Amino acid sequence: MAEQNPLAETLPKQAERRHALIDILYLTQVVWLYVFSAVYPLLGLFYGILLLAGSISPKAKKVGKICLILGIINLALCVLAIVGLVVLSFTGLLAGLATE
């Protein structure tokens, strides 16, 4: 009787674990790109344009598109907040001048 090689059974399991680890690392990287795109709008715009224009894979282009969208949304919210603060500060300034 021929004995089965135990190494032959472990190699597919190791390859499967390696692929699972690569998938986890990829998802972690994508999540961090999304977080940074949402927190820092210029970084989101930079990575979005970089991935969208310079990538070959459709998966990376999709990540770039989402980073770009998050960066644009966050940049618009930052500009809106700055405009709102300027308007509120001038309103308070004008109200202070009117009482004097």
Q: How many CB atoms lie within 10 A of CB 64?
A: 21
User: For the segment 53-79, what is each residue's pLDDT rounded down to a tens digit?
Assistant: 888 888 888 888 998 999 999 999 999
- Residue 8 pLDDT more than 70? no
Radius of gyration of the chain, Cα coordinates, nearest whole angstrom: 25
Helix (H), strand (E) at residue 100? none
* 56 phi and psi angles, rounded to 5 deg: -95, -35
Which is more confidently placed, 98 or 50?
50
C-alpha–C-alpha distance, residues 36 and 30, integer Å = 10
DSSP 57: S
**Mean pLDDT of the residues in the chain:** 81
Helix (H, G, I), strand (E, B) or coil at 11: helix
